Structure 1
Amino acid sequence: MTETMMAAVLEEYGSPLVVKRVAKPSAGPGQLLIRLEASGVCHSDVHIWEGGYTPATLPEPFILGHEGVGVVEAVGAGVTGWRVGDRAGAAWLHDTCGTCAQCRAGLPNFCQAQRAHGLDVPGTFAEYVVTNANFTARVPTGEATGLAPLMCAGLTAFGALDRAALAPGECCAVFGCGGLGQYAIQFAKRRGARVIAVDRDPAKRALSQENGAAVAVDGGDTDEIEKLRASADVCVNFAPTTATWQPMLDVVRPLGRVVAAAMVSEPVPLNQEWLTGAGITITGTSVGTMAQMEALMQVQAADPLTSSVTEIPLSEVSRALRELAEGRAPARYAIRF
């Protein structure tokens, strides 16, 4: 008799996910089967759910999610270093080509042939998920719903500051102080940087200062932004909107760095004459590498990050996606299985 599991399945873009029983997967060669304790709900899941980010081949079943934490239930053939019962995490990357220039450079997160959980292969809005052992995180002890968002939100924030090469004594302006931004504030503070938090939500600004931001300003207040002109060495955007673009260019100093971490599909203006005079470096970042994941997990084990996570059952995941899409969600949602 085929074993089954509960999962939230995408059957029509933009419509509520269908929570139902589907076949329980099994671990193939080089893979792990993880019994999930929790899964974060990420804004990237919203993009996929709405149909803004579609795979070349739809996974079967189409289960979203890429912030899973649980316990290894089965180890596939050829896998070494993992045992049944180990704590494990399923993140964005399921696998990559392993041969392109990006993979060879140790940056598989920029591999153009990558496959992701919840997009190209079934994800973590289910009781079980199959991962590639080489891309599975080793997770420390701790509450699963608090750890799950680190698989993407935490790693993206960690990777963004690495991408920015943020150094001690520098000033880092974090635009968008939701779940990812709050992680970035804590990481930047721990790197010895002075942090400016920029967000239109007063509650998020208050939380930013609790998490170490020296200054928290309203991103929609042009006078406040003008006071910060050319004051930041690094500006990182975690807000899924073009509205932060001009404020970032106003706040970054000459020869500073601007890092795009949010998925914003609309174009933004850029004056090349200004760029040649200011010498700004503008770059993007995409989640992170397994080396960065390992470093993040070590940080978490030694000095846990603070985060605001709202636990929900699997049956409420569609509500969470809708609230994220409408900007009404708390910092992070996490499904508890």
Structure 2
Amino acid sequence: MLAGRLTYATGAFVVDDVPVPEPGPGQVLIKVEAAGVCLSDLHLIEGMLKPATSTEVVTLGHEVAGTVHALGPGVTGWQPGARVLLHAGELSPAGAVLTRGVDYDGGWAEYALASVHTLVPIPDDLPFEQAAIIPDAVSTPWAAITATAAVRPAEAVGVWGAGGLGAHAVQLLRLVGAAPIVVVDPLPGARQRGLDLGADLALNPRDDTLREQILAETGGRGLAAAFDFAGVADVRDQAVGCLGAGGRLVLVGLTDQPLTITNGTAFSYFQQKIFGHYGSVPAHIEQLVDLTRRRRLDLRRSISDVVPLADAGKAVERLHTKEGDPVRIILRP
């Protein structure tokens, strides 16, 4: 079968022929129908992210949907042909979080192995392309909003970066009743996308009046919560400066750069907070599947393009250059 393989030591990525894996006890073999291309995949190829294990070569892809193809020994409760998405990760026997497509083989392949407890059934009318992106592109901002930041109705919020995660954050913030929602992004197309998805105000981070405009939009209160989905050091300092009393900054975008606070006295005086955030838990994914099933969440606009698995390298390059300003490019085996 074809699989998109990354060698960590060299950063070499290639779509190659590899054997179809055999499911072991407690595993199922999934016929992959769709797999998302995420900025984290690019970070892995670039070497900014490293696996938590001693994995040397891995099949990328942590956003995966498909059908059950074969059951491993002792697996019950599933039938071949069942439509599923896969959790992006699972716990190791030692309790560490291991990520699919990072610490073990993921879904940039024609077939993928999955532990049976990582399968989530999806309704027949949810396209595989949309289902695949739920475990990360949608579940990560959902967890950041509802769990880490605990956003409440009518709270003013800011979204820095309206790409793969931030675009969904706007939709999800509207869903929980946040208001106003301010999108900050240097790309005009991304700002317009934020407005189209329900933001109340879209600003360029290079605008010298950004803070004043946010204060005006919030009646002088500032933001109750600000989300960094860009993973850019300067973004974080700018976002802190837009927080109101008791405001919290949630770091979702990944960066290896230092975190600095320009005015530490004001930060302490106003009792502001900074939270790190990573991923989601199974309950968040199940909630989102139910929300899409009940038509509370529409992911159709999230699919920027669908390309063959053989062109995975080109898809990564498009994400790197932001060609077409994609939300999510989907690989189809």
TM value normalised by structure 2:
0.90
Structure 1 residue 326: deviation in Å? 3.4
Q: Match of 1:87, as an amino acid?
A: R
Moved more, 307-316 or 37-46: 307-316
In the other structure, the counterpart of 2:256 is 265
Per-residue CA distance 1:262-320 (angstroms, 9 max, x = gap): 11110121254233211112101111110111001111111142324211111221122
Structure 1 residue 17: deviation in Å? 2.5
Q: Match of 2:23, as an amino acid?
A: A
* 1:130-279 correspondence runs (5 A): 130-141=113-124, 142-162=126-146, 163-194=148-179, 195-229=181-215, 230-270=221-261, 271-279=263-271
Structure 1 residue 188: deviation in Å? 0.5
In the other structure, the counterpart of 2:272 is 280
Q: Match of 2:225, as an amino acid?
A: V
Q: Which residue of the other structure, out of 311, 316, 320, is the alignment partner of 2:311?
A: 316
Q: Match of 2:177, as an amino acid?
A: G
Separation (CA, whole Å) in 2 of partners of 1:91 and 1:326: 28
Structure 1 residue 61: deviation in Å? 5.0
Aligned to 2:231, the other structure's residue is in SS state coil
- Flag the 1:57–1:283 CA change in 2: closer, same or farther, 3 A: closer
Separation (CA, whole Å) in 1 of partners of 2:56 and 2:81: 27
Separation (CA, whole Å) in 1 of partners of 2:121 and 2:85: 6
Aligned to 2:198, the other structure's residue is in SS state coil
Does the 8 Å CA contact 1:183/1:305 hold for their aligned counterparts? Answer: no
Structure 1 residue 28: deviation in Å? 1.3
Per-residue CA distance 1:92-130 (angstroms, 9 max, x = gap): 20x214675xxxxxxxxxxxx221111111111101111
In the other structure, the counterpart of 1:18 is 14
Separation (CA, whole Å) in 2 of partners of 1:14 and 1:98: 29
Q: Match of 2:118, as an amino acid?
A: F
The yes-or-no answer on 1:28 pairing with 2:24 is yes
In the other structure, the counterpart of 1:50 is 46
Structure 1 residue 77: deviation in Å? 3.2
Separation (CA, whole Å) in 2 of partners of 1:99 and 1:140: 34
Separation (CA, whole Å) in 1 of partners of 2:282 and 2:45: 26
Separation (CA, whole Å) in 2 of partners of 1:169 and 1:98: 42
Aligned to 2:265, the other structure's residue is in SS state helix
- Flag the 1:80–1:122 CA change in 2: closer, same or farther, 3 A: same
The yes-or-no answer on 1:294 pairing with 2:277 is no
Structure 1 residue 258: deviation in Å? 1.0
Structure 1 residue 138: deviation in Å? 2.4
Structure 1 residue 59: deviation in Å? 4.1
Per-residue CA distance 1:223-256 (angstroms, 9 max, x = gap): 1233214521111111131121122112111101
Structure 1 residue 72: deviation in Å? 0.8
Percent sequence identity is 30
Moved more, 38-47 or 7-16: 7-16
Separation (CA, whole Å) in 1 of partners of 2:64 and 2:99: 13
Moved more, 50-59 or 272-281: 50-59
TM value normalised by structure 1:
0.89
Q: Which residue of the other structure, out of 87, 111, 136, is the alignment partner of 1:91?
A: 87
Q: Match of 1:318, as an amino acid?
A: G
Separation (CA, whole Å) in 2 of partners of 1:97 and 1:58: 13
Structure 1 residue 15: deviation in Å? 5.7
Moved more, 219-228 or 163-172: 219-228
Separation (CA, whole Å) in 2 of partners of 1:56 and 1:160: 22
Unaligned runs of 5+ in 2: 216-220
Does the 8 Å CA contact 2:2/2:310 hold for their aligned counterparts? Answer: no
Does the 8 Å CA contact 2:87/2:282 hold for their aligned counterparts? Answer: no
Structure 1 residue 179: deviation in Å? 1.8
Structure 1 residue 331: deviation in Å? 1.6
Aligned to 1:17, the other structure's residue is in SS state strand
Moved more, 27-36 or 287-296: 27-36
Aligned to 1:83, the other structure's residue is in SS state coil
Does the 8 Å CA contact 1:65/1:125 hold for their aligned counterparts? Answer: yes
Aligned to 1:292, the other structure's residue is in SS state helix
Aligned to 1:204, the other structure's residue is in SS state helix
Does the 8 Å CA contact 2:231/2:251 hold for their aligned counterparts? Answer: no
Moved more, 24-33 or 140-149: 140-149
